[in-house]
Structure 1
Amino acid sequence: MRKRPSPRGLLTAMTVLACLGPGAVRAQVPAPADVIGFAPGEDYKLADYPQILEYFRSLGEASPRVEILEIGESTLGQPMVVAAVSSEANIADLDRYAGISQLLAKAENLDDSEARRLAQEGKAVVWIDGGLHATEVAHGQLMPELAHYLATDESPETRGIRDNVIVLVCANMNPDGLNIVADWYMGNVGSPYELSPIPELYHPYIGHDNNRDWYMFTQVETQNVARQLYHEWFPQIVYNHHQSSPFPGRIWTPPFENPVNPNLDPLVVTSINQIGESMKKRFDFEGKPGANSGIVFDMWWNGSMRGAPDFHNMLGFLTETALYRYATPGCYEEEDIPETFGERAGNLPAKTPTTNYPNPWLGGCWHLRDAMDYMMTASLAVVDMAAELKEDYLFNIYWMGKRQKERGERAEGGPFAYVVDLEAQHDPTSAVDLLRIFRTAGIDVVRAEQAFEAEGREYPSGTYVIPPQAFRPFVVDLMEPKRYPDRRLYPDGPPEPPYDMTGYEL
C-alpha cells in the first residue's frame, strides 16, 4: 500500500487543491493516452500490462482521490494493484471505512440499531475488475479509463459517487495473460495471422479456468483478490467484467437465468436483479441497443469470481459484452442476425423486443471502442446505484449475515457446526487443506480449548470447529449434497443442462 500523507501534508495539499479548483485538478491528472501513448480502445491496438500498471501508478501519484493498493504478485511476478477511488476525505480515512464494511459483513457483536448507525456512517464499497479472461480484451483496456473518469469527472452524478462510494478498480486480474495476448496480437496485426488464436494458455497454469478457482484458491491471483474481498475490504458489490455475450446481443446483464442455488440469501438474488435492471435502463436512456438478460448464465454454481461472493452475502455478478476478435473490428449485415438466441438461450427472439431484450441490436460494425463504451455504461450504472442506495447495501449485508447465523443456530439447511478432528483423519493433510481453503475464503475456523462431546462422540482439545457465521452459505454449499433441479425442455422431454457441468464440492 502506498504511504499515506501526513495530516499536515494532507491539509496543505487539500488547501492548494481547493484554491486551484476542480478544473485545475483535472488538468494535472494524466489521461490514459498521456502515459500509455494511445487511448485504449483504438482499433488494432492493445496496451500490455506494464503500460497499464504505469498508468495506474501515475494516476495515484497525481490524484488525491486515488490510493494505489499493492495486493500481491501474479504467477510470473507482475505486481497486482487496485485503485481505490473516492473523495479526498474518504481516501484519507480508508481504514475506518474498511473497518465498518468488515463489521457489517461479519455481523458480529452488533444489534440492529448499531448496524443502522454504521450503515449511515460508512461508505459503500464496490469492487470492479477486468482482464480475468485475457482474450476478452475490452475490460482489461477499460480499467485505466474507468479509474480516470471516476477520479476526474465533475458531474453531479460522479461527485455523488465519490462522496458515498469507495470504488476498488482492479488494474487487471490476470496480468500475465494480458501480456501473452497483447504480445501475440500486436505481433500479428496486419498479417494473415491477425485473428489467429494464441498458441498457449493465457494463464500459465489453468488458462480459462482461472474463473473456476474461487472455491479452491489454488492460484496466487485468486488468493490475492480473495484477501481483498474476504479479509480487507468486504465489498457489498463485486462486479466481474467478461466479454462473451450471447449473439447477437451486445451485452448480457442480470437478472440471471434459473435455477437459483437454495443456499443463497434471497436478498442477494433480488438485489442483483435490481442492479441488472438499472443497467438496462441506462443503456436504453443512452441509446445503446442490444442489452439482454435472463438467459444462459445461472445462479447455481459456486466456483466463479462473481459467484463465490454471492455465498458471502455480497452482490457478485458479471456482465458479458460482445466481442469480435481482439482489437480488430467486425461488421454484421442484417442477414447475419439470427431469428433467436438459440436453444441454449430458450430461443429468445433476437429481432423483436421482449422483456429480456427490449431494444434489439440489428447489425452494424462493432469496435473495441464500442465494447468499452458499453462496459463503461454498465459500470457507471452500478456505482451510481451504490451511491443512491449506499445505506441499504451496507445494512443489508449485515442483515443477511445475521440471518445466516440464525439459520446455522437452528441447523437449517445444514448442521449447526462442522467439526474437523485432525487426529481422526485418514489423510490429515487433506483436512488441513480444507481448513486452509475456508480460511482463505474468510470463513471463521476456531480451535477447541478443551475436550467436548457432540452427538455422542468425544472430541479432544485442539479440534477445529466451523461455527455458525455470516458467510455460512459458502460452507454449507461446499459441504452438503446438492441436487440440481430436474428441469425439462417440455414434459417428458430432455433435461435442460446446467450452465457448468462441474460439481463444486469440498
Structure 2
Amino acid sequence: MAALAYQWDREEYPLFRNFTLYSEIPAALQELQAKNPGLMKIDVIGRSAEGRELYLATVTNAQGMGQLEKYRHFMARAVEDPDQALALLREDGDLRVPVFINASLHGNEITGTDGALMLIEKLLTEGEDPEVAEVLARTVVLVNVCANPDGRVRGIAGNNGIDLNRDYLTQSQPEVQAVVQQVATRWFPSVMVDLHGYFGEGNVTIDACTIPHNPNYEYDLVGAPGIEEARAMAGEIGAGLGLAVDIPALKMKEGWDDYGPVFTPQYFMYLGAMSHTVEVKHPNQEGIRTAMLAAWGALKYAAKHREEILHRQIEVYRRGIRGETGENKGLFPFAYLIPVDRKLQRDPLEASKMVNHLVQNGIQVKKGLASFEAEGVIYPPGTYVVPMRQGLRGLANTMLWPGEDLSQRVKAMYDVSVYSFPHMCGFDARPVGEEFSAALEPVRSASRLKGVFERGAGQVYAFPAENNDAVKVANLLLKEGFSVCRTAQGFRDFLPGTFLVQGGEDLPARLTALTEEYYVHITGVGAVGVAALPIRLRKVAVVGDNFGAYQAMKEMGFDVSFVQYIHLNRGYDLTAHGFEALILAGTETGIWRDPFADWLGVGYGVHFALVERGRQQLRNFLQAGHDFIGIGYAGAKLNEEAQLLPAEFSFTADATTGFMPENVQAAQSAENGLCLIDADPQDLLTYSFGRAERVYAFGPVWFSKVPAEAKIAAHFSPGNFYQKGFWLNPAQAAGQPVVIYGSKEGRKTVLMGIDPTFRCYTPATYRLLANALYYLGL
C-alpha cells in the first residue's frame, strides 16, 4: 500500500475513476479541440474564489466560428432594439440560437462536467450525423465546463458557505460574476440547461416548474414553451437510457416552483431564455450519460425551433420597451428613482452599490443632470433613474420591487419567496407610476462616494455606525494599532454604539485617507464624557451552510475562518487550531439530517451534512467554555444540546418541504419573508437599529422561553409584523423574542432567530452580526 500513498496526498478530492478531475480538464479540452479545431474555441472567463480557472467552450460549425461576433451583437442589439432585431431575423437566415450549458455548479454533483465533455465530443466528432450537423449550423453552444472548480477539488457543494445556485441575483461570488459578465450579458442565451444531481432511486427530473411563477418574467414566452423543450429532453433520455423522467410542471401541483429569482436557470429566464435544471439519479456512468442526453435534447429542440425561440425572446424585450403589461397591470412602474442625497436616502452607500449592480447586469440606468419633479417630489441633480420601459425590465423590477405575499396562494414553496434589494440592503428605491420629464444621461457606473473628515476638537474622533463601511474602518484602524472603542451611551448628536478612535500625530492623516476610500463621516470631538466599550477581534470559526456570515464578516475585517463540514466530520479540533469562538448558522436540513445519505443513498462515501461526529466536535468546543453565536434552527439546537442558555425555541413547520422527494419529510419548513422587528437601540447587540426595522427571515426561529440570565435585544414586532413572502402562520411569532444573549459560567452566548447575513442577501442587517462579534470581545 505504501506505493499508492501519493494518491491520498493530492490536493483534489479523489473522484470515481471514470470522472474527470478538475486538474485534468485543460488537457481534456485540448484533446477534444484537436479532434476538430475549427469547430471549438476555449476561453478562460474568470477565476474561482480560490483562483482556479473557469473554462468556457464555444462550439458551432466552421462557418459559425467565423461569425461569432455577429451572432453575439445580434443578441445584444435585440435587447435595445427588438424591432430592428426582428427585421434582421427575417432577412438573415444565419442568425443562431445561443444555448448555454452550465455544468456541476454544485461541486459534489460531479456528473455535469463529464456529461458536458461527452456532449462536446459528440458535437466535434459526429458532424456527419444530420442531427449534429443541424445543431452546429443553427446554434452556438456555450459550455461552462466546470462551474465550481473549488467545489470539485474539495468535494463540497458550495464555497465559503455560499451555494452558487442561490447566488445569481446577488452575485456575491466570482464564479457567478464571471458567468453574468462573460455569458449572460454578452450572449443573452435563448436556452439554458443547468446540470445537477442526485435523486437516487427517484426519477430523473427536468424543469419546467410548478406554480407560483414570478410575475416579473414573461411566463407565456419563457416558461410555458419550456415544457415542450423539457419533454424533448426527457425523450432523449428515455430513448437513450430507458429512464423515466419527471417534469414537475406536469406532475406536481406546487413546491417545485420557479418563483425565486436567485437560481441560475431563473436568472436566465429574466433574459428571455427557456431554462431547465436537470437532476440525474446517481454519480455514475449512467448519470454522466443522462446529463449529456438532456443537454443534447435541448440542443436538438433549439435547432429545430430556431426562429420561434428567437422570436419569443425578442418579444420579451419588445414588451419591456413598449411598456406592455398584459394581465400584470400595475406591476411595472414608469421608473424607479434612487436618490443619493442624504435627505432622501436612508443609505447612500448601498444605493450607490445597487446602481453599479444594475449596470453590471445590462440594465439601463440614467442620472439626472438637473433637479426634476416626479409625483410632487423634487429630486436633486445626481438622482439615479431606472426607466422601466427597457428590454430587461423584468430583471430590473425583480431587483427593485417590494415583493408580494404568496401565503394565500400556495401551501409549499421551494425556496426564496421574496427578494427586494431595497428592503434587504436597506436603501430607498422609489417607484414612480406617473410619467415625468427630466434631463438625463446614461450611467456606466455610480459616482464614487467619499466620506467626510472634520478635524474639530481633535484627540478623540467619532464616527457613527450608520453603514457597513463604518465597521470596516473601525476594524481596519484597530488592526493598524489605533485605540478603538464604542460608546455605551449616546452623546451630543451621536447614538449609542458610535465608534471612537484615538492615536498619535499620524491619526488625522490616516483618517483623511480613509474618508477618501470609505463612506464614513469622522468628526474630532475631544473629550466625550460617556462610558466606552473596548473592541477586541477574536478568532472565530464559522460553520454552516447556505448563509453568508463568513464572507460578510471577512469583508468587514473580522478574524473569521470558514470550517467545512467535511473537516469537522473527520475530527477537526477547533480548540487545537486556536479558535476562541464559534458561529453556527443553518436550518434543520444539512446539520441534523442528511437527506442525500439518509433517504436517497447517493452520498458515495461523503456526508454532505454535518453528521453526529462533526456535531460532537462543536459540542466539545462549546463545553470547553468557548463563546457562541447561534443563528436560526441550527444555532438554537446546538445551544440546547450543549446546554448553554436554557432557552426554548419555536420554528416554522406549517408548510410542506417542496424541495425534497415526497418520502422525505422535514421538521422545519422553508417559510420565509420580509418582517418587522423591534430592536433596542440602547442595547449593545442592536446598536444602530430601532423599532419597525425591516429584516429578511428564512426558516425563522423565535424564543418562547428566555431564561433570567439572558437579555432580549429584539422581538418580532407585535401584530402584523410579517409583510411579504411565504409564511402560513406568522401570528404565532408576533411579539416574540428573536435576538437574545447572555453569559453563563463566563461563556457568552448569542442566539438569533433570523440570519442577518443570509446568503449575503441582507447587507442591511450585517451590523447585527458585527454587534454580536464585538460583544464576544468584551
Q: Give the TM-score of the pair, scaled to structure 1.
A: 0.73
Opposite residue 52 of structure 1, the aligned amino acid is I
Distance (whole Å) between structure 2 residues aligned to residue 214 and residue 43 of structure 1: 30
Q: Letter of the aligned partner of 2:164 in structure 1?
A: N
Q: Which residue of 2 aligns with 1:222?
A: 176
Alignment partner for residue 422 of structure 1, among 326, 334, 340?
340
For 2:394 and 2:58, locate their aligned partners in 1 and report how far apart those are by CA, in whole Å: 28
2:20 pairs with 1:65: no
Counterpart secondary structure, 1:422: coil
Q: Which 4+ residue blocks in structure 1 deviate beyond 6 angstroms?
A: 408-411
Q: Deviations over 1:304-340 (max 9, x none)?
A: 11111112222222111112xx5xxxxxxxxxxxxxx
Q: How does 1:53-92 map to 2 (within 5 A)?
A: 53-60=26-33, 63-92=37-66
- 1:95 matched residue in structure 2: 69
1:283 aligns with 2:237: yes
Q: Does 1:447 align with 2:343?
A: no
| Aligned mates of 1:457, 1:479 — CA distance in 2 | 20
Distance in 1 of aligned mates of 2:300 and 2:410: 39
Task: Point out the more displaced range, 211-220 or 290-299.
Answer: 290-299
The equivalent residue for 1:167 is 141
Larger Rg, first or second structure (1 or 2):
2
Q: Tell whether the 8 Å contact from 1:46 to 1:141 is kept in structure 2 after alignment.
A: yes
Q: Name the amino acid aligned to 1:376.
A: M
Q: Is the 8 A contact 2:100 2:189 kept in 1?
A: yes
Match of 1:314 in 2: 273
Determine helix, strand or coil for the equivalent of 2:211.
Answer: strand
Highest RCO, 1 vs 2 (Cα 8 Å, sep ≥ 6): 1
Quick one: structure 1 residues 71 and 394, their matched pair in 2 at CA, closer, same or farther if it must change by over 3 Å? Answer: same
- Cα distance change, pair 455–126 in 1 and its aligned pair in 2 (3 A): same
- Kept in 2, the 8 Å contact 1:56–1:171? The answer is no
- 1:453-484 Cα shifts (integer Å, max 9, x gaps): 11111222322111121211122223222221
* 1:263 aligned partner: 216
The aligned amino acid for 1:220 is P
Q: Deviations over 1:72-129 (max 9, x none)?
A: 111111111111000011011111111112122x142635751533674411100001
Change (3 A) 1:488 1:501: closer
- The 1:501/1:214 distance shift into structure 2, 3 A limit, reads farther
Instruction: Summarize the Cα distance change of 1:56–1:498 in structure 2 as closer, same or farther, 3 Å threshold.
Output: same
* Mapped contact 2:82–2:318 kept (Cα < 8 A): no
1:109–1:376: structure 2 CA closer, same or farther, 3 Å change rule?
closer
Q: Which residue matches 1:141? A: 114
Counterpart amino acid of residue 338 in structure 2 = V
Deviations 1:1-22 (A, max 9, x none): xxxxxxxxxxxxxxxxxxxxxx
Spell out the pairing of 1:98-177 with structure 2 (5 A cutoff): 98-104=72-78, 106-108=79-81, 110-111=83-84, 113-117=86-90, 120-154=93-127, 155-177=129-151
Q: Which amino acid aligns with 2:301?
A: M
% of aligned pairs identical? Answer: 22
More strand as a share of residues: 2
Aligned Cα root-mean-square deviation (Å): 2.6
**Residue 389 of structure 2 corresponds to residue 389 of structure 1:** no
The answer to whether the 8 A contact 1:129-1:241 is kept is: yes
Give 1:489 deviation, angstroms: 6.3
Whichever residue aligns with residue 244 of structure 1, its letter is Y
Distance in 2, matches of 1:240 and 1:118, equals 32
Out of 380, 390, 394, the position equivalent to 2:296 is 380
Which letter maps to 1:449? L
Distance 2:65 2:301 in 1: 20
Partners of 1:249 and 1:290 within 8 A in 2: no
Q: 1:312 to 1:501 in 2, by over 3 A?
A: farther
Aligned to 2:385: 465
Find the aligned partners of 1:408 and 1:385 in 2 and give their Cα distance.
Answer: 29
2:261 alignment partner in structure 1: 302
3-state SS in 2 of match to 1:259: coil
**Does the CA-based 8 Å contact 1:487-1:496 persist in structure 2?**
no
Q: Is the 8 A contact 1:211 1:305 kept in 2?
A: yes
| Equivalent pair of 2:116/2:292 in contact (CA under 8 Å) | no
Matched residue count: 398
Give how far 1:292 is off: 1.0
- Alignment pair present for 1:178 and 2:136: no
**Does the 8 A contact of 1:60 with 1:83 survive in 2?**
no
> What amino acid is the match of 1:122?
L
- Which residue in the other structure is 1:477 paired with? 398
Residues of 2 paired with 1:244 and 1:384: CA distance?
A: 24
Cα pair 1:400 1:470 within 8 Å, conserved: yes
2: CA distance, partners of 1:136 / 1:276:
21
Aligned amino acid, residue 210 of structure 1: L
Structure 1 stretches lacking a partner, 5+ long: 1-41, 182-200, 327-367
CA distance in 2, matches of 1:180, 1:76: 11
Tell me the amino acid that sits aligned with residue 389 of structure 1: H
In structure 2, how many angstroms separate the alpha carbons of the residues matched to 1:407 and 1:126?
28
Structure having the higher helix fraction is 1
Contact 2:82–2:315 (CA<8 Å) still a contact in 1? no
Q: Distance in 2 between matches of 1:401 and 1:231?
A: 14
Q: Tell whether the 8 Å contact from 1:122 to 1:394 is kept in structure 2 after alignment.
A: no
Which 5+ residue runs of structure 2 have no aligned equivalent? 1-14, 413-653, 660-669, 674-724, 726-760, 763-778
Is the 8 Å Cα contact of residues 119 and 392 (structure 1) preserved in structure 2?
no
TM-score by length of 2: 0.48
